[in-house]
Amino acid sequence: MDQDLDEPGTHGLAAPTVDAADATARAAALVARDLLGIERADVALVLGSGWSSGADRLGRPIARVPLERVPGFTTPVVAGHGGDLLAVELTSGRIAAVFTGRTHLYEGRGVTAVVHGVRTAAALGASVLVLTNGCGGLNPGWAPGTPVLIRDHINLTGETPLRGPVFIDMSATYAPRLRALAHEVSPDLPEGVYVQFPGPQYETPAEVHMARVLGGDLVGMSTALEAIAARAAGMEVLGISLVTNAAAGITGEPLSHTDVIASGRAAAPRLAELLAGVVARL
Ligand code: 8IG
């Protein structure tokens, strides 16, 4: 394939084709295997805002490397977003690759950079991907610190990581099997529809109202594009959001990144337990 598609954020340079991006991800996986001292990974986790301490309880840590040492990754720009790749041996003996940071669309590196971790996880051999994030909640009953299982998403970024006639089925993007496992661990975990906005600004109250009218329950700036890339790579996806704040206009309070980080910290032990429980059942 020799397409010449421009991507926003790539400053007029041609975006890599999906084939080229997959080759970059395979190269990244080879380097990651060497640095981590693992043969392959069975599952992968992306830990978003508020979730990074979730890595501690997953199992036996094998190794940790800064993501910027793996080809195709750069240092994350947001305070409170980590940026390491860990290998963890789960109690089941399976190996997890854990990303404690992600590239967001608003960084302007293009959608290929956004899903590079997902494609690297697939190239490592992971067949299950657990995506976590911090987000705004539309349900006033969801206090900051409430985890919510993602049932489905609405991609409002106007972007896709796919190029060409890649007509993948998105009718069960967030695997019912994995959602059932999460409910075994936490029977009253609420479910919701995640709406990905491009960011970096938070929504206006009118945009939050629009998301609600469209059927959304959660608003954020990640996850949907990664889930698309994961489905295209044949991975099963589980998505869990942490509501770190009421979405704009829901309570009348202004949104602050400091509050977002604080409610993530406060929820950390509960999230770590939830993640460990889910991953142990995979
Ligand atoms: I943390 O309220 C977090 N991330 N779009 N809206 C959007 N992203 C978020 C929000 C929010 N909170």
Task: Choose, from 7, 203, 207, 236, the residue flagged as catalytic.
Answer: 203
Q: Where are the domains of the chain?
A: 3-279
Q: How far is the CA of 207 from the centre of ligand 1 (A)?
A: 12
Which of these, 253, 33, 233, lies nearest to 140 by C-alpha position?
A: 253
pLDDT, average across residues 118-143: 96
Specify the pLDDT at position 278: 93
Task: Please tell me whether the peptide bond between 200 and the residue prior to it is cis, using omega within 30 degrees of 0.
Answer: yes
Q: 245, 251, 253, 263: which to mutate for ligand 1, most atoms within 8 A of CB? A: 245
Q: How far is the CA of 194 from the centre of ligand 1 (A)?
A: 11
Is 3.40.50.1580 the CATH number for 3-279? Answer: yes
* pLDDT tens column, 164-212: 999 999 999 999 999 999 999 999 999 999 999 999 999 999 999 999 9
pLDDT tier at 1, thresholds 50, 70, 90: very low
**Residue 89 known to be catalytic:** no
* pLDDT tens column, 214-254: 999 999 999 999 999 999 999 999 999 999 999 999 987 78
Q: Where are the alpha helices (DSSP H) in the chain?
A: 18-36, 111-114, 116-124, 176-185, 205-213, 224-232, 257-280
Q: How far is the CA of 50 from the centre of ligand 1 (A)?
A: 12
Checking DSSP bridges between strand 128-137 and strand 218-220, what pairing results, if any?
Answer: antiparallel
What's the token pair of residue 12?
């007029």
Instruction: Look at 65-74, 76-85, 125-134, 143-152 and tell me which has the smallest mean pLDDT.
Output: 76-85
pLDDT at 82 over 80: no
Rounded to two decimals, the pTM is: 0.91
What's the token pair of residue 67?
């993501």
Q: 150, 204, 212, 219: which to mutate for ligand 1, most atoms within 8 A of CB? A: 219
